[in-house]
Amino acid sequence: MSDIAEITLEGKSYQMPVVVGTEDEKAIDISSLRSASGYITLDAGYKNTGATTSAITFLDGEKGILRYRGYPIEQLAEKSSFIEVAYLLIYGSLPTTAELQDFSDRISRHTLVNEDMRKILDGFPSAAHPMGILSALVSSLTAFYPESLKSNQSDEEMELSIVRLMAKMPTIAAWSYKNSVGHPVNYPKNNLDYCSNFMHMMFAYPTETYETNPVVVDALNKLLILHADHEQNCSTSTVRLVGSAHASLYSSVSAGISALWGPLHGGANQAVIEMLEAIKADGGDSKKFIEKAKDKNDPFRLMGFGHRVYKNFDPRAKIIKKSADEVLAALGVKDPILNIAKELEEAALNDPYFVERKLYPNVDFYSGIIYRAIGIPTNMFTVMFALGRLPGWIAQWKEMRENKEPIGRPRQVYVGETERNYIDMEKR
Ligand code: CMC
């Protein structure tokens, strides 16, 4: 017999079913609590609230486990490509050769964006942050594909929206960068794979043929795979919440991009590079910054250390660290901030302050170093995160719609004034 949770309120007890996931995660289903007792539960930041059941990503922060559709992130990062992982996340199983080819071909056919979108892009000042442009242009896709607004899209229509978004996001992302440097945009080359095409649109000069480097493409594939989904979090839950009102895929993902833009969420990889550069400019004494991070009177924190859910290690950080070494060696890049990063990591991992608090390098500690080595400018780091997270957002939006989840509508505990009468202006 399955467990039942008993909640006693004002001397009366209420029985709530216990829900157990396939990895033995346990939850109390309190959905009937309010109608039965008048009580709601209060949980600011949703730290202990499951907003959904989901079959996409499993994460165990204590054990450092991350799996997409059951497959360990380590295996996917080593053996798979980003497009294959996107297929896995969105459709639930690894594709056959024919399915993967078909998915890639369909994406390749939709990489162009409507020329009118360039006029919207032209309207942005060159100082505009690429994340703002990305969010705005993804939302503007609804104007070019109004059928995406239908709340009762057929399977074929939903599929077309998904493929279009996967296809156009790299084009829009690269164009947002081109706008920031005042360069003409590059059009997609559909004979290239997903990552090579993105690098071509970012870096090709009109007068030269851009040669993609397999080391760079491999590193980019890995980084995007590692960011592809992370179960419920600020941006992903935003996508599900906006989508639960039957907003289109494009509007929902645009909202997710805005959520990711926040420095507490997607901005940490940029903060790591800025911190490492500041340490270098200060003479490179990493120990001094370790002491600053430990000083409770100093607001400084070691960026790229610590994680809300990973308390032993971040499995993504392990993979990325190895990849950073390989990429820098293969490209012959000697980045002095890599040495600072290594010193900092070693010093922190041997310091009781960090050991006791279980503060380990997270995914963002090394990702910025790789992005830098392959030429991605710092203001594009969060855009790269968005590009990687896209299949996760799509999969979560699709799952929410297919499960026919109800519109998201949290409750609150009101703590404002109780009823009072309107006071006429002259009496205030
Ligand atoms: N440097 C120094 N001390 C730290 C750090 C740090 N990076 N992170 C946590 N602490 C200390 C904190 O001061 C507190 O100490 P005490 O118990 O003495 O008060 C203790 O460790 C617990 O910290 P917390 O803030 O309660 O931990 P949290 O789980 O709420 O915060 C975190 C997690 C990621 C926000 C935090 O570790 C942090 O600010 N890290 C730096 C920013 C960063 O790298 N963010 C990227 C996260 S990975 C991206 C993703 O997966 O989305």
Q: Over the stretch 52-67, which tens digit does the pLDDT of each residue have?
A: 999 999 999 999 999 9
Distance 289 CA to ligand 1 centre (A): 15
Angle between helices 194-203 and 214-226 in degrees, nearest 10? 110
With a 6 Å cutoff on the Cβ, whether 363 touches ligand 1 is: yes
> Which two three-digit tokens encode residue 84?
């294959």
Residue 227 CB–ligand 1 contact under 6 Å = no
Residue 226 Cβ contacting ligand 1 at under 6 Å: no
- Copy the structure tokens of residue 282: 């200060």
Quote the CATH superfamily of domain 72-215+233-262+385-397.
Citrate Synthase, domain 1 (1.10.580.10)
Neighbour-count burial of 418, counting CB atoms closer than 10 A to its CB (0-12 exposed, 13-18 middle, 19+ buried)? exposed
Buried b (16+ CB within 10 A) or exposed e, 224-250: bbbbbbbbbbebbbbbbbbbbeebbbb
Q: Which tokens belong to 101? A: 């080819």
Residue tagged active-site, from 200, 227, 314, 364: 364
What pLDDT is attached to residue 35? 97
Of the candidates 387, 371, 286, the residue with the CA atom closest to the CA atom of residue 323: 371
Instruction: Select the CATH number that applies to the domain covering 4-50 from these four: 3.40.1360, 2.60.40, 2.40.128, 2.20.28.
Output: 2.20.28
Ligand 1 atom at minimum distance from 230 CA = 51
Tell which atom from ligand 1 comes closest to the C-alpha of 305: 7
Contact at 8 Å (CB) between 303 and 398?
A: no
Regarding the beta carbon of 305 and ligand 1, being less than 6 Å apart is answered: yes
pLDDT at 336: 87
Q: Which residue of 301, 353, 358 sits with most ligand 1 atoms within 8 Å of its CB, as the best mutation to test the pocket?
A: 301
Ligand 1 centroid distance, CA of 233 (Å) = 16
Residues 324-353 pLDDT 10s: 888 989 999 888 888 898 899 998 889 999
What spacing in Å lies between the alpha carbon of 307 and ligand 1's midpoint? Answer: 6
CB 224 within 8 A of CB 381: no
Ligand 1 centre and the CA of 312: distance in Å?
13
* Alpha carbon of 41 to ligand 1 centroid (Å): 26
Residue spans per domain, the chain = 4-50, 72-215+233-262+385-397, 268-373
Distance 306 CA to ligand 1 centre (A): 5
Whole-model pTM? Answer: 0.92
Q: Long-range contact list for 99-103, CB < 8 A, 24+ apart?
A: 103/163
Protein residue with least CA distance to atom 12, ligand 1: 357
Distance of CA 361 to the CA centre of its chain: 18
Please tell me which residue in 200, 229, 307, 314 is annotated as part of the active site: 307
- Which residue is closest in CA terms to ligand 1's atom 31? 308
Please list, in sequence order, all residues whose beta carbon lies within 8 angstroms of the beta carbon of residue 407, skipping any fewer than 6 positions away: 244, 245, 246
Q: Residue for token digits 């074929």?
A: 156
Minimal CA–CA distance to 357: which of 344, 365, 348?
Answer: 348
Atom of ligand 1 nearest to the CA of 264: 45
Q: Is the CB of 306 under 6 A from ligand 1?
A: yes
Same CATH fold, 72-215+233-262+385-397 and 4-50? no
**Residue 369 in tokens:** 């170093």
Atom 47 of ligand 1: nearest residue by CA position: 307
Low-confidence ranges of the chain (pLDDT < 70): 1-2
What's the pLDDT at 1?
Answer: 53
Nearest CA owner, ligand 1 atom 37: 306
Residues 257 and 386: beta-carbon distance below 8 Å:
yes
Annotated catalytic residue 364: yes
Decide: 372 in ligand 1 pocket, CB within 6 A.
no
Q: Whose CA is nearest to atom 4 of ligand 1?
A: 301
CATH class of 268-373: mainly alpha
